Structure 1
Amino acid sequence: MSTPSPSRPASGSKIVSPHQGTLAVLDGMKPNALSSVPDAGPKPPWLRVRLPNGAKYREVMDIVTSHKLSTVCAESKCPNIAECWERGTATLMLMGSVCTRACKFCSVNTGNPKGWLDPLEPAHVADAVALMGLKYVVLTSVDRDDLPDLGAQHYANCIRAIHLRMPETAVEALTPDFQGKLDLVATVLDAGLATFAQNLETVERLTHPVRDPRAGYRQTLDVLKFAKRHAPDTITKTSLMLGLGETDAEIEQALDDIRAADVDVVTMGQYMRPTKNHLPVERFVSPDEFHAYRELALSKGFLEAVSGPLVRSSYRAERVLEQDNVGLEDTADAHKEKILDAIRESSATMRSLRC
């Protein structure tokens, strides 16, 4: 969880967001009854990640900053920011850094931007993609319930600007639900996407403890089903966070519901509490359990199921079609091999000492 630094206001305090000058709640949630509720226990070792560092990380940060862009990597406190930015990839967050919704799992600042948009953002996004040399880019955005079209046309403009500047670059869009207005979903799809994503986030029973009241379990499924029907060649994708109190039966039902909406790809990862004002972690799901959930999803006919403790919806998104859990299986096998090599070396040393 984040802690305030001497130069950073406390989570939940009111701030004026940079660039757009919007009054917002820092990290999305004010102090509340959840603030004193502890997590299920200490963070297990498989969730520990290294701190961001390295030349490539700083290069990506400079590109994002100089083009006045936001990234979901930073705004949502993603644990994979070091890995992704050092690979030269970032998930760009459109339409500012202030969301009109207040989901209890999300650390994006919340407020009312009152119609603010940066008209130069499509060009800035395209420039950033070109500078990073991306062949596959993931766009996401804050919810913009304050805009007449909820931001759909601006989103489409950003996609088209990328295509114009980088014709060979494939674009994935992780979009808001656009209040279930399917004509607005079509506006984004018609801009030309490789992948359309809208996150279900959690099982049906937990939807409204977890998500903003304006979001909906069935609403998201309807958006995803429409997307596949409207653009059959576009891959559709959604994500579930685990560790919020869901049961195995509820996870399986959610997977059935997602597949019934003709969704191609599902991702599953551990929910991690961004600040003490957000929902507590109810359980830490082990890597073996994530593997079992992946196998369950694949048995239901998904094109791919990406599942692991640190998986997020856009994590290694460009590798989804490799159908190898975006390389996580290889990483786990390599880690096991290192351990086995160490054991073999130790055993050989012991044998030589006995001789």
Structure 2
Amino acid sequence: MSVPSKVGFKKPQWLRKKLSNKAQADMEKLLDNAGLHTICQEAKCPNISECFAKKNATFMILGDLCTRRCQYCNVKTGNPNGYVNEKEVEQITISVQKLGLKFVVITSPARDDLKDGGANHFYEVTKSILNNTEDTQVEILIPDFQAKDESLQKVVDSGAVIIGHNVETVPSLYKVRKGATYERSLEVLRRIKELGGEKVKTKSALMVGLGETEEEMVQVFKDLINVGCKFLSIGQYLAPSGDYATVKEYVKPEQFERYKTLAMDLGFEFVHSTPYARSSYMAHEYLSNQKK
């Protein structure tokens, strides 16, 4: 069991990440010129400077308004009223070409205002990238689509090599996930694996520092393995501001290593477990470094 570090205004040494404002500004200019959004910007990801310096970004399709209001996420909440920017398909494809990206991550806010939750748009964007680039792989990180089978089938058919859906936290803390349930998220991962078989790898992510116990975390590991999920990301929760769920603990690096060992021993093929790990951070490593 990890020992809580005192949570206050000062982060511990292992969470003081050096930022590159110039790299971030340069990448944001490129994205703004294309009229695109990234989850890196919207969620105030702590890895934004590092990733942007490497010209890596997770593109956020379907706008920057989420129909849910989770207590840990900085993405804006609102009602897009069914609007879908069809130009995103071409805009993202061109940006991928210009950047010479070989591994692309696509995600979106929850779009409960759309009948399919946005699944068809994921399909169109992914297919466009794959059809218009050489040797590029796509990972998609999806909302739960209300666990609708037709939506899950659509994203499975997109050609994405990894389909991620984040359980985010342990069941006892699910009050921070508005409009979601732990059981539904597990069902989404189970169905994607059933529909996609060996051609699709499934992936999930967990935040720590919200008050979870090691016993609860291990049970989630087991639940994910039971639904065929073999890729996992574990990272420290950092509140975007005082209006969000409170950080209860700064989990020490050695506990992240312990979580990785426990998860790998249970059967995961690759686990990225560090304080700054996020679901799409260094996403290309999952396929290249998975356990044989």
- The TM-score, its normalising length taken from structure 2, stands at 0.94
Q: In 2, distance between residues paired with 1:253 and 1:301? A: 13
SS at match of 1:147: coil
Q: In 2, distance between residues paired with 1:203 and 1:41? A: 25
What is the aligned partner in structure 2 of residue 319 from structure 1? 285
Matched, 1:245 2:211: yes
Q: In 2, distance between residues paired with 1:277 and 1:182? A: 35
What is the aligned partner in structure 2 of residue 273 from structure 1? 239
Q: In 2, distance between residues paired with 1:40 and 1:48? A: 14
Matched, 1:50 2:15: no
Equivalent position to 2:181, from 201, 210, 216: 216
Letter in 1 for 2:246: P
Identity of aligned residues (%): 38
What is the aligned partner in structure 2 of residue 236 from structure 1? 202
Structure 2 runs not aligned, ≥5 long? 1-5
What is the aligned partner in structure 2 of residue 77 from structure 1? 44
Q: In 1, distance between residues paired with 2:208 and 2:24? A: 28
8 Å CA contact retained: 1:159, 1:191: yes
* RMSD (CA atoms): 1.6
Q: In 2, distance between residues paired with 1:57 and 1:125? A: 19
The residue correspondences of 1:120-199 to structure 2 (distance < 5 A) are: 120-199=87-166
Q: In 2, distance between residues paired with 1:222 and 1:166? A: 33
C-alpha displacement at 1:324, in angstroms?
7.8
8 Å CA contact retained: 2:58, 2:104: yes
What is the aligned partner in structure 2 of residue 297 from structure 1? 263
C-alpha displacement at 1:60, in angstroms?
2.4
The residue correspondences of 1:1-12 to structure 2 (distance < 5 A) are: none
8 Å CA contact retained: 1:60, 1:132: no
- Relative to structure 1, is the Cα distance of residues 293 and 84 closer, same or farther in structure 2, using a 3 angstrom cutoff? same
What is the aligned partner in structure 1 of residue 3 from structure 2? none
What is the aligned partner in structure 1 of residue 27 from structure 2? 60
Q: In 1, distance between residues paired with 2:160 and 2:275? A: 28
8 Å CA contact retained: 1:200, 1:239: yes
Q: In 2, distance between residues paired with 1:322 and 1:169? A: 14
C-alpha displacement at 1:40, in angstroms?
5.4
Q: In 1, distance between residues paired with 2:125 and 2:28? A: 20
SS at match of 1:241: strand
SS at match of 1:254: helix
Q: In 2, distance between residues paired with 1:150 and 1:306? A: 28
Equivalent position to 1:225, from 169, 180, 190: 190
What is the aligned partner in structure 2 of residue 343 from structure 1? none
C-alpha displacement at 1:59, in angstroms?
3.9
Letter in 2 for 1:217: Y
| Structure 1 moving runs of 4+ over 4 Å | 38-41
Equivalent position to 2:253, from 287, 291, 312: 287
Letter in 1 for 2:184: Q
The residue correspondences of 1:194-209 to structure 2 (distance < 5 A) are: 194-207=161-174, 209=175
Post-superposition CA distance 1:160-196 (Å, at most 9, x none): 1111221421000000100111210111110111100
Q: In 1, distance between residues paired with 2:260 and 2:289? A: 11
Post-superposition CA distance 1:274-304 (Å, at most 9, x none): 0110000000001101000000000001011
Q: In 2, distance between residues paired with 1:223 and 1:162? A: 24
Equivalent position to 1:117, from 68, 74, 84: 84
C-alpha displacement at 1:126, in angstroms?
0.4
Structure 1 runs not aligned, ≥5 long? 1-37, 326-355
Q: In 2, distance between residues paired with 1:235 and 1:107? A: 28
Q: In 2, distance between residues paired with 1:189 and 1:57? A: 33
What is the aligned partner in structure 1 of residue 275 from structure 2? 309
8 Å CA contact retained: 1:47, 1:310: yes
Matched, 1:102 2:69: yes
Letter in 2 for 1:263: C
SS at match of 1:119: coil
8 Å CA contact retained: 1:224, 1:236: yes
C-alpha displacement at 1:151, in angstroms?
1.0
Larger Rg: 1
SS at match of 1:231: helix
- The TM-score, its normalising length taken from structure 1, stands at 0.78
Q: In 2, distance between residues paired with 1:237 and 1:324? A: 12
Post-superposition CA distance 1:49-80 (Å, at most 9, x none): 223334x5444222211111110001000000
8 Å CA contact retained: 2:269, 2:290: no
Count of paired positions: 285
